Amino acid sequence: MAKILIIGCGSIGIQLAEVLMTKGHQVVGFKRNPPINEVATGIVYFKADISSSASLTALSLDFDFVYFIVSPDGRNQESYEAIYNLGINNLLAHFSQAEKTPQWFFISSTSVYGQTQGEWVDESSPSYPENITSQLIRSAEQRLMDLNANHVIVRFSGIYGPGREYLLRMAKQVPAPDIQQTPPYYTNRIHQTDCVGVLVFLLECRLAGKALKSCYVASDDDPATTWEVMSWLAERMNTSLPSPKVMQPEADMNKRCNNQRLKALGYQFSYPSYKEGYAELIDNRWV
């Protein structure tokens, strides 16, 4: 079994650690502020801050795999610099001392695509985002790809699931929200259960000796428009339908994500569209 470091133990990182431990892997969670009672979680933690090289000194070098699932503290350039520039540089410098450097699964975002006209995008599509935060993510991706061809970039689209229920709260608003209908504005999402599923699946492919590409788009099968999703939620929750608003053709990151590379490898989504995922959330928490 593998020795695995998970850098960033939020909800996805913790769920990932739990699944990997049930499969017999040795897992260490890397977190700035680990829970006081580690016994309750069953996860062994290393307490450190990736933006401080000094805090990494005691971090073991003998990991087989590293998952990087870190979220910035805020949606500003400084927070993203701390993670995707300084933090990545510190980690790579630390592991450069290892006799055998670990293979990385770097969790990225489909925000690295700057397309605005509803185009389909996949791993071969140009990724030149206009905003600085996405540029920093893209730069970190490129650093890892250039360093080692075995590193894998996983670009998640918008994550939803328990605790990530923004659209459900929006659908409950009174009066109903105004939603862009024309021109169509496409959205992309992935259930957090599938986030974990994809990360476990890719590791198992690697351990089984399957050849992996350097990048995978992880998004469900249905890049639906905001209007379609919100109208469906309103009907499903028996709330008022949204009111249409017409926007200018120019939109920020209006695209449709193609997941065929991941599916061709053999991954099967637990929640192939927003309908399965949101129906479960509504039935369990919003009835």
- CATH superfamily for 3-162+189-221+255-271 is NAD(P)-binding Rossmann-like Domain (3.40.50.720)
Note the pLDDT of residue 37. Answer: 64
Note the pLDDT of residue 35. Answer: 82
Q: Which tokens is 80 given?
A: 């993203």
Alpha-carbon distance values, 1 to 58, 91, 204 (Å): 23, 23, 11
Q: Which tokens is 208 given?
A: 């089984």
Q: Tens of pLDDT along 225-243?
A: 999 999 999 999 999 999 9
Alpha-carbon distance values, 20 to 131, 164, 208, 211, 230 (Å): 35, 23, 15, 21, 35
Note the pLDDT of residue 227. Answer: 95
Q: Which tokens is 188 given?
A: 């992309």
Q: Tens of pLDDT along 266-277?
A: 999 999 999 999
- pTM, to two decimals: 0.95
Any idea of the CA torsion for 143, 198, 196, 96, to the nearest 10 degrees?
A: -30
List of residues 6+ apart from 82 with CB closer than 8 A: 51, 72, 73
Of residues 157 and 73, more confidently modeled: 157
Between CA 199 and CA 248 the distance in angstroms is: 37
**pLDDT-based confidence at residue 20 (cuts at 50, 70, 90):** very high
Domain boundaries, the chain: 3-162+189-221+255-271
